[in-house]
Amino acid sequence: MSNFIVTNKIEKELATVIKSLAADRVFVLVDENTAEHCLPIVMPELQDAIIIKIKAGDETKSIDTAVDIWEILVDKGATRSSLLINLGGGVVTDLGGFVAATFKRGMHFVNIPTTLLGVVDAATGGKTGVNFKGLKNEIGAFATAEKVLIDTRFFKTLDFKNRLSGYAEMVKHALIADSILLEQTLNYDLDSFDMTRLATLLKQNLQIKENIVEVDLHESGLRKALNFGHTVGHAFESLSYEMGNPMLHGFAVMWGIIAELYLSLIKLKFDKKIVSQILAFTKEYYGAFPYTCKQYDRLYELMLHDKKNSNGQINFTLLASVGDVRINQKVTKEEVFEALDYLREN
Ligand SMILES: NC(=O)c1ccc[n+]([C@@H]2O[C@H](COP(=O)([O-])OP(=O)(O)OC[C@H]3O[C@@H](n4cnc5c(N)ncnc54)[C@H](O)[C@@H]3O)[C@@H](O)[C@H]2O)c1
Ligand SMILES: [Zn+2]
C-alpha cells in the first residue's frame, strides 16, 4: 500500500491515521508560518495535541533545535508509542523526522508537507536530518514516515518562488521516468496554478519516486536516478550559501537539470530538442543563470565534495533519453565547464 495519500479531506485522513496508530500522545511540529497558515486546517483533529513551534528558515534545521524538541518530548512524557506530526516544509519534515527517528530509537511520525518541494522531495523518501558545522544535512538517518498526507489546499498561501522550487523536482521526476508526463508537466500553466490538475500530476510524480525508493531506500543503485540534476544543482546551492545569498533548492536543481541534460547530450546523445525546450521553460520561469566563469573552479570543487561520490570521482546520473537513466557516469572537468558555458551562453 502506498505510503502517501493525496486528498482534499486531510482532516478525515489524519483522524484515521491517528486512530490506526493508537498513539498515547500526539505532538505537532510547526514553524511560525505553518502555525499561522496550515495548522488551522488540521486543528479540529488535534484538539488534545501538544504543539511545538520553531522558527522558520533553514538555520533552524540544527542539532540545537533537535535538542529543544527532544527536551519537550521528555518533559511531556512522550513514549515510543507517541506520534509526532510534522506539519511544514522540508525544514520541519527533515528535522521532525530526525527527532522522531532517534527519540527512544524511534517513535511514530507522520509528515504533512505544506510546500510543493516538501511534497515531491523532502517529506517522501525517508531521508531525515539536520545541518551541522555549515554543512547541509550532515547528520541524519533514513527513516520512513508512517504516512505522508498531502493536500494541495496548503499551497494557496505559498509564494510563487516556493511553488517554482518544488516544480523543478516534478520536471526531474518526469524526465527520469515518462515522456508523456514530461509533456504534461512542461505544458501545465504555472501562473494559474490549478490545484486539481496539480494534484493529478503530483500523484504520478509521487508514484515514480515511491517505486524507486521502495527498491533502494539507501541509495546503492536505482535511487541514484533521483539525483538527476542534483550533482551540479547541489554545487549551485552550496555556492549560493557561501556567497550569503541562498538559492531555493529547486532553483539550484532546475539549473542543475539543464547542465546535466547538456552532459547527457554530449555523452549519451540525449535529444537536443528536449534540452532546448527545458532550457526555454527554465529561462521563462526561473530567470537568468546567476554565475560567471570566475566561479567554475569553486563549483567544480563543490561537486567533488558531494557526499554521494566515492574514490575522488564525481558520479553523475545522466539520461540517454527520457526514462532511460544511466548511473555512475564519469565526466571530465572540461565537460563540466562546457556544460556551465551552455547555461551562461544560451
Ligand atoms: N529529505 C529530503 O530528501 C530533502 C529533499 C530536498 C530538500 N530537503 C530539505 O528541505 C528544506 C527545504 O524545504 P522547503 O523549500 O519546503 O523549505 P521550508 O521548510 O523552509 O519552507 C519554505 C518557506 O515556506 C514557509 N511555508 C511552509 N509552508 C507554507 C505554506 N503552506 N504557506 C506559506 N508559507 C509556508 C516556511 O515557513 C518557510 O518560510 C531544506 O532544508 C532541504 O535541505 C530535504
Ligand atoms: Zn532535490
The domain boundary, picked from 157, 179, 199, lies at: 157
What's the mean pLDDT when you consider all of the chain? 94
Q: Are residues 83 and 184 in the same domain?
A: no
Q: Are residues 150 and 171 in the same domain?
A: no
Whole-number pLDDT of residue 143 = 96
Per-residue model confidence as pLDDT tens digits over 171-189: 999 999 999 999 999 999 9
Ligand 1 centroid–CA 3 distance in Å is 20
The domain boundary, picked from 94, 122, 157, lies at: 157
Q: Which pTM was predicted?
A: 0.94
Q: Are residues 183 and 117 in the same domain?
A: no
CA distance 147 to 204: 17
Q: Are residues 283 and 326 in the same domain?
A: yes
Quote the number of domains for the chain: 2
Q: How many residues comprise the chain?
A: 346
Q: Are residues 16 and 115 in the same domain?
A: yes
Sign of the CA dihedral with 27 first, then 33, 39, and 41 last? negative
Per-residue model confidence as pLDDT tens digits over 71-109: 999 999 999 999 999 999 999 999 999 999 999 999 999
Q: Is there an atom of ligand 1 within 6 Å of 118 CB?
A: yes
Cβ atoms 323, 264 nearer than 8 A: no
Whole-number pLDDT of residue 109 = 98
Q: What confidence category does residue 310 fall into, taking pLDDT thresholds of 50, 70 and 90? A: low
Q: Are residues 46 and 71 in the same domain?
A: yes
Q: Residue 286 is inside which H or E element, if any?
A: helix 272-286
What is the average per-residue pLDDT within 109-133? 95
Whole-number pLDDT of residue 135 = 81
86-110 in b/e form (b: 16+ CB < 10 A) is bbbbbbbbbbbbbbbbbbeeebbbb
Q: Whose CA is nearest to atom 30 of ligand 1?
A: 158
Q: What is the CATH number of the domain that holds 170?
A: 1.20.1090.10
Q: What is the CATH number of the domain that holds 11?
A: 3.40.50.1970
Whole-number pLDDT of residue 51 = 98
Q: Are residues 141 and 208 in the same domain?
A: no
Q: Residue 101 is inside which H or E element, if any?
A: helix 90-102
Highest mean pLDDT among 216-220, 333-337, 342-346: 333-337
Please choose, from the candidates 286, 209, 189, the residue with its C-alpha nearest in 3D space to the C-alpha of residue 3.
Answer: 209
Q: Is the pLDDT of residue 306 over 80?
A: no
User: Which residues, at least 6 apart from 40, have a Cβ–Cβ distance to it below 8 Å?
Assistant: none
Sign of the CA dihedral with 154 first, then 156, 158, and 162 last? positive
Q: Is there an atom of ligand 1 within 6 Å of 290 CB?
A: no
287: left (phi > 0), else alpha (psi -120 to 50), else beta?
A: left
Q: Are residues 137 and 165 in the same domain?
A: no
Q: Are residues 140 and 166 in the same domain?
A: no
Per-residue model confidence as pLDDT tens digits over 233-286: 999 999 998 898 889 999 999 999 999 999 999 999 999 999 999 999 999 999
Instruction: Using most ligand atoms within 8 A of CB, pick from 30, 94, 144, 148 the residue to mutate for ligand 1.
Output: 94
Q: Is there an atom of ligand 1 within 6 Å of 165 CB?
A: yes
Amino acid identity for residue 315 in this structure = N
Instruction: Using most ligand atoms within 8 A of CB, pick from 63, 114, 139 the residue to mutate for ligand 1.
Output: 114
Radius of gyration over every alpha carbon of the chain, rounded to an integer in angstroms:
20
Q: Which domain holds residue 95?
A: 4-157
Q: Are residues 144 and 243 in the same domain?
A: no
Q: Are residues 145 and 176 in the same domain?
A: no
Per-residue model confidence as pLDDT tens digits over 23-42: 999 999 999 999 999 999 99
The domain boundary, picked from 96, 129, 157, lies at: 157
**DSSP β-ladder status, 135-142 and 127-132:** antiparallel
Q: Is there an atom of ligand 1 within 6 Å of 94 CB?
A: yes
Q: What confidence category does residue 194 fall into, taking pLDDT thresholds of 50, 70 and 90? A: very high
Q: Are residues 128 and 175 in the same domain?
A: no
Q: Whose CA is nearest to atom 19 of ligand 1?
A: 89
The runs of H, that is alpha helices, within 288-332 are 296-304
Beta strands in 143-196 (DSSP E): 147-150
DSSP annotation string for 35-79: HHHTHHHHGGG-TTPEEEEE-SSGGGSBHHHHHHHHHHHHHTT--
